[in-house]
A and B are shown apart, each in its own frame.
Chain A
């Protein structure tokens, strides 16, 4: 910043000092700045510019080609009447409550078991549980579709053959679709969360659990009253990630259910993608993205505040 001439020399000196030293600082560390410059370049183009342009687009009607028509708040007003968008938000919450508690709990239990030195071949089991995470979700989605086919799928054939249960419409009903999606997500993401939990467990000194056991706690009590409270920050981390994850679900939905049946599994991300690249309504999709961003931002803030205050 260049400093304008002031009435007194005194203020000029004091106000010109910080920018001067900032510039000096940049010159002094010019090589460091040069090396981190590529990040800022890509951030400016692909991060900041596109975010701001998308904000501008949210007040317009644009097919992606041709003139951009400014329409004020019309997109935002139609959004509140858009049943699919509202449903996609509800689905985000529903899916979050359906799979996150179960997945985090399973991840924690598995992590505790596999963290124990008494389990034979724990590295083998860790690897097995982690493999789905690195597997291509498109291939996995197709496999799940075959397994869950109502009439010919292996899952229903087993259930009918062994337990004599009537074929379950896994992908052919509203709740079946949601449950199937949760199964796929838990299958794919359990290993990832388990590794986070394992990392957290390794920071907990084993003396604490041992002390509890000496005082007469059984392993289950030690798990609930010692391990879980100490793991709270790690659990919070996983829950926050999963919250964003369940609204951001795309590949899993796109491959397994396509958002059906009757939009029961459509997530905001899938809906925004469809409006932008299926229907070419880029202005509307931008408005959706901003509303979605605001809601997610508030939710995350709330979560961090609520859980964060209890950490210590």
Chain B
């Protein structure tokens, strides 16, 4: 929020005082529901990730924003709304989106004798099977792992992106559990090819080993994770990473600032050639608890921050949170080359991905429960403890048993 958007708001609304509190996600998803349940103690305005939004909307206790958001319904990315709606009413205002792209290390691709420009790389990894071949080439030529994906503690983020890009998820439009459907099983089997071929690094996302492999190598004399923690020279870089647009900001900002100029952004692979080469991962929204005494001011701030292209562009510039507000996409900022990505105009790649995100059924009111069971299933498949069909059938049955969904 170091964008000046808040200061501009304060200048416009001098009688509104803002107390901005940053909270760790795990704290947030325990404290906010408790405050909603207790009927007191919630903030006037809260930021909720899309993955948890539907669950909190279903819990109740949020202010109905149906009339307020109407002007913005058509201006936001369509994929943002489904988790904000319950029984035809809107309970959240979308903030950023997570259009998924393909991040790759130009230096590793060059060392493997592969093309390094974004368009050629996009063609090279047109499907997940093509990607598997590319991984094999990289392993043979350079010995570098293709990407990091943990087996025994996998929690399903990549699998969810692969489902989302096919318009699938953990349930379908009618509310039926699809965890054990043929397409879901086939998707997990596709991922299994990578594990079986031993082409991946077994680091868990968001842990030190994972950071180190993203920050390894580079042009600086000593590679560092963030500002100063040196990466041991024995750590070899991973060649690629399928992740949402916010990852670019994280790489640049605090995970691997020393690898500037080495990264590129291409399109994520599709399951079948011709399918959408985009998905959504993460993203966030603002909600106003119904118990708030300052709903008008809270909405004024929400609208100021998320509904005004100026604010969204300013926030995007400062933090790289990709706006869901499509009217911003014509701003010149989206045509600026980024030195971290070897002067590629990455934001155009994000827009291209954002515009084709299919409607997915990954999140929803029972996401945390479904993700838990499916993660266990993925762990079993990745470590060879069960087949994809068996593991997902067991997960689906547990989900049906727990939620009563058909």
Q: Is the CB of A173 within 8 A of B152?
A: yes
Q: Is the CB of B398 within 8 A of A65?
A: no
Write out, one digit per residue, whether chain A residues 24-66 have a CB within 8 A of any chain B CB (1) or not (0): 0000000000000000000000000000000000000001111
Chain B, residue nearest A173 (CB):
B152
How many Å lie between the Cα of A63 and that of B61 in the bound state? Answer: 12
Chain B, residue nearest A284 (CB):
B402
Chain A, residue nearest B39 (CB):
A65
User: Which chain B residues lie closer than 8 Å to A174 at the CB level?
Assistant: 152
Q: Is the CB of B208 within 8 A of A149?
A: yes
How many Å lie between the Cα of A94 and that of B161 in the bound state? Answer: 36
Set A145, A151, A260: member contacting B379, Cβ < 8 A: A260
Q: Is the CB of B202 within 8 A of A150?
A: yes
Set B232, B372, B398: member contacting A152, Cβ < 8 A: B232
Chain A, residue nearest B203 (CB):
A151
A176 to nearest B CB, angstroms?
Answer: 8
How many Å lie between the Cα of A268 and that of B383 in the bound state? Answer: 24
How many Å lie between the Cα of A284 and that of B29 in the bound state? Answer: 19
Set A66, A149, A177, A279: member contacting B209, Cβ < 8 A: A149
Given contacts A149-B209, A152-B235, A278-B368, 13 further A-B contacts (CB under 8 A): A63-B60, A65-B60, A78-B402, A82-B398, A146-B208, A172-B150, A260-B153, A261-B383, A262-B152, A262-B376, A278-B29, A278-B372, A280-B33
User: Which chain A residues lie closer than 8 Å to B376 at the CB level?
Assistant: 84, 262-263
User: Which chain B residues lie closer than 8 Å to A151 at the CB level?
Assistant: 201-203, 209
B55 contacts the other chain (Cβ, under 8 Å)? yes
Q: Is the CB of A277 within 8 A of B30?
A: yes
Set B30, B33, B398: member contacting A83, Cβ < 8 A: B398
Q: Is the CB of B60 within 8 A of A261?
A: no
Main SS of the interface on chain A?
A: loop
Q: Is the CB of A258 within 8 A of B203?
A: no
The A-contacting residues of B in range 351-404, CB under 8 angstroms, are 366, 368-369, 372, 376, 379-380, 383, 385, 394, 398, 401-402
User: Which chain B residues lie closer than 8 Å to A149 at the CB level?
Assistant: 207-209
Q: Is the CB of B379 within 8 A of A65?
A: no
How many Å lie between the Cα of A176 and that of B318 in the bound state? Answer: 43
Q: How many A-B residue pairs have CB under 8 A?
A: 86
The A-contacting residues of B in range 321-340, CB under 8 angstroms, are none
A274 contacts the other chain (Cβ, under 8 Å)? yes
B111 contacts the other chain (Cβ, under 8 Å)? no
How many Å lie between the Cα of A280 and that of B402 in the bound state? Answer: 12
B151 contacts the other chain (Cβ, under 8 Å)? yes
Q: Is the CB of B59 within 8 A of A152?
A: no
Write out, one digit per residue, whether chain A residues 273-310 have a CB within 8 A of any chain B CB (1) or not (0): 01001111100100000000000000000000000000
How many Å lie between the Cα of A177 and that of B150 in the bound state? Answer: 14
A10 contacts the other chain (Cβ, under 8 Å)? no
A223 to nearest B CB, angstroms?
Answer: 41
Q: Is the CB of A279 within 8 A of B366?
A: yes
- Count chain B residues whose beta carbon lies closer than 8 angstroms to a beta carbon of A: 37
B212 contacts the other chain (Cβ, under 8 Å)? yes
A: interface residue count bin: 20 to 34
A276 to nearest B CB, angstroms?
Answer: 10
User: Which chain A residues lie closer than 8 Å to B372 at the CB level?
Assistant: 274, 278-279
Q: Is the CB of B59 within 8 A of A280?
A: yes
A120 contacts the other chain (Cβ, under 8 Å)? no
Q: Is the CB of B152 within 8 A of A81?
A: no
Q: A64-B37, A274-B372 are in contact. Are A262 and B383 (CB under 8 A)?
A: yes
A169 contacts the other chain (Cβ, under 8 Å)? yes
User: Which chain A residues lie closer than 8 Å to B150 at the CB level?
Assistant: 172
The B-contacting residues of A in range 149-188, CB under 8 angstroms, are 149-152, 169, 171-174, 177
The A-contacting residues of B in range 102-128, CB under 8 angstroms, are none
Q: Is the CB of B59 within 8 A of A78?
A: no
Chain B, residue nearest A146 (CB):
B208
User: Which chain B residues lie closer than 8 Å to A81 at the CB level?
Assistant: 401
Write out, one digit per residue, whether chain A residues 132-149 have a CB within 8 A of any chain B CB (1) or not (0): 000000000000011001
How many Å lie between the Cα of A284 and that of B402 in the bound state? Answer: 9
Chain A, residue nearest B212 (CB):
A152
Q: A64-B33, A146-B208, A262-B385 are in contact. Are A172 and B151 (CB under 8 A)?
A: yes
Instruction: Give the residue among A78, A149, A260, A261 with the most B Cβ atoms within 10 A.
Output: A261
Q: Is the CB of A280 within 8 A of B153?
A: no
User: Which chain B residues lie closer than 8 Å to A263 at the CB level?
Assistant: 376
How many Å lie between the Cα of A312 and that of B372 in the bound state? Answer: 50
Write out, one digit per residue, whether chain A residues 232-264 have a CB within 8 A of any chain B CB (1) or not (0): 000000000000000000000000011011110
